[in-house]
Amino acid sequence: MNEAVRPSTSSGPAAPCSCVPAIPAGVDAVVFDFDGTLADTTSLHEQALRAALEPYGLGLDPDWYRRHVGLSIHDLLTALSGSAQLPHQDIVQDSRAHLLAELHRITPIPCVGSLLRTARQAGLPCAVASGASRLLVHPGIDELGLRHEFTAVVAREDVPRGKPAPDLYLAAVRRLGVPPERCLAVDDARDGVASARAAGLPVLTLADGHLTDAAEAFGRAEPITTAADDVSPDRAAPRSADPTDRQP
């Protein structure tokens, strides 16, 4: 990712910050994950899920949570030891309520915001492919003032399967009208990177506050399988109507 960035088509030009690699030639669009990529929301999601679990006496280990970032909240609860008998839907609703109450606290991730500006100045259409519900993603985009930067926003209920399946990224590139191999994906989570790779997109990821080729951060092997990987499209399809699927 070291080729020269395309010249800006806007009148006021901002040089990309040093944490942003150049957009390679041949890229015609960019698709961004939202939570943990465009917006620094990981700790808020963790706090919301912990608060929703607390009434049931179940804790949430921070290291465990961060290893599973990127899964839907339903898959998180399925994988979480001790949660099998808990009312998952009530926990999802409580977690979402905590998040909506704290939405004003979300902040942008600077290097990803810089890449978004660089892409838009170069005339590249951009989209969001998020495993979160649109009830969280759209208000989050508005909170960051980015509503008009995206040609398309794809959320969890828009597709049969969440990440690491390729559905979200495939839906985004279809809406952009760009072949996957000419569309750059940006995602912070291992399962998100797997999703973009499965869809055929080249991928950048976050490492120590900088954007880097995902192969350098995660290697080229696919991530360890999770409960989400074993869900067939037919079994997963009914979840697409659930507006709380993905992170809390």
CB-neighbour burial class of residue 133 (10 A; exposed 0-12, middle 13-18, buried 19+): buried
pLDDT at 233: 30
Residue 133 pLDDT = 87
- The tokens for 136 are 């969280």
Residues 174, 195 contacting (CB under 8 angstroms): no
Contacts of 146 by beta carbon, 8 Å cutoff, 6+ apart: 38, 116
Q: What is the dihedral of CA 194, 199, 200, 201, to 10 degrees?
A: -70
Q: What is the pTM of this model?
A: 0.78
Q: Which domains does the chain have, with CATH numbers?
A: 25-248 (3.40.50.1000)
Q: Which residue, 26, 35, 29, 37, is CA-closest to 4?
A: 26
Question: In tens digits, what is the pLDDT along the chain, a chain of 248 residues?
Answer: 333 333 333 334 444 455 777 888 899 999 999 999 999 998 998 999 999 999 999 999 999 988 888 777 877 898 899 999 999 999 999 999 999 999 999 999 999 999 999 999 999 999 999 988 898 999 999 999 999 999 999 999 999 998 999 999 999 999 999 999 999 999 999 999 999 999 999 999 988 888 998 876 676 544 433 333 333 333 233 333 343 344 44
Helices 88-101/134-143 angle, 10° precision: 10
Cα(53)–Cα(165) distance, integer angstroms? 27
Tell me the H-state helices in 71-166.
73-79, 88-101, 110-121, 134-143
Structure confidence at residue 219 (pLDDT): 65
Residue 134, classified by CB atoms within 10 Å of its CB into exposed (0-12), middle (13-18) or buried (19+), is middle
In this structure, what are the phi and psi dihedrals at residue 80, rounded to the nearest 5 degrees?
-75, 120
- Locate 214 and state its tokens: 């995902």
Nearest to 223 by CA among 170, 172, 187, 247: 187
pLDDT of 223 reads: 41
Residues 6+ apart with CB under 8 A from 108: 38, 39, 40, 144
| Sign of the dihedral defined by the CA atoms of residues 226, 230, 232, 235, in that order | negative
Q: What residues contact 8, with CB distance under 8 A and at least 6 apart?
A: 14, 118, 121, 122
Model pLDDT, residue 208: 81
